[in-house]
Homo-oligomer: A and B are copies of this chain.
Amino acid sequence: MTRILLRISYDGSGFKGYQKQPNARSVQGEVERALAKIHKAPSWPSTSSGRTDAGVHGRRQPVHFDTPLAIPESRWARALNSLLPEDIYVHDAEIVADNFHARYDAVGKEYLYKFTAGAEHDIFARHFRYQLRQVPDQQLMQQAADYMLGTHNFASLSSPKTDVVDKVRTMYAIDVWKEEKEWTLRFIGSGFLYQMVRVMTGTLLDCGFGERNPEDIPALIAAEDRTKASKTAPGHGLYLSQVFYEKALLEQHLTETAGRRKNK
């Protein structure tokens, strides 16, 4: 068997989430249906770097699977794309070590949360940006974000609906920027809990709207209580944008993106 690592993008708006589930369209379900066809098997398992919720988008998300087929590396993407629906796209495929694991080997991830503020409703963005009428204060949001950096138990800032016991994660960078009415929040961390980026985003927005003080974030985190944080921001503004398997590449990315943090 050969282990293949795919990088796939998907428009989350047509899926009930990444994970396979009965009677609902999922990214994993579509990917495995295409793999099963290629393998002429009733089903074919795959392993993703993680799951995303309904409406959440993926950019070059890593997914691995094992195959007995001798298909050259360079042919997998085209073979899969010819079988996949138009809202999933395989960028490339790469042969990896048999013990490589798309989820366990990740050393860091980056998510982007995109929203517009104070702009007229844009139907072309309805699946791709959270659209807010009110304009938050960028500096207050960045102050609050800075309090979330470092290693903490993130129980307050993630959904309690999980079997994950260890909720300690490290946030390396959280950057807030805007270009006219288009805002982006970038989260780079060791890993993320269920709905963590969306709860962080909701909480940062409340700080930006003056409904919370950035100075209260440390106590909020220390409480380890989801009810202390703000409401979960909607899924359609969220993009899994990078998964790192090498500490050096993660460090390099942090260095490359540091310019924005210095200039803020």
* Chain B residues in 8 Å Cβ range of A88: 123
Asked if A215 is an interface residue, CB under 8 A from chain B, the answer is: no
Q: Hey, what's the 0/1 contact readout for A154-179 against B, CB within 8 Å counting as 1?
A: 00000000000000000000000000
Copies of this protein in the complex: 2
For A11, the closest partner residue in chain B by CB is: B123
Among A9, A57, A91, A123, find the residue whose CB has the most chain B CB atoms closer than 10 A: A123
Contact of A89 among B86, B89, B121 (CB under 8 A): B121
Contact A128 B124 (CB under 8 A): yes
* Chain B residues in 8 Å Cβ range of A86: 123, 126
* Chain B residues in 8 Å Cβ range of A89: 121, 123
Asked if A244 is an interface residue, CB under 8 A from chain B, the answer is: no
**How many Å from the CB of A6 to the closest CB on chain B?**
14
* A122 to B91 Cα, complex, angstroms: 10
The list of the 10 closest CB pairs from A to B, nearest first, reads A89-B123, A11-B123, A9-B123, A89-B121, A86-B126, A11-B124, A87-B123, A124-B128, A91-B120, A10-B123
Residues of A whose CB lies within 8 Å of any CB of B are 9-11, 57, 86-89, 91, 120-124, 126, 128
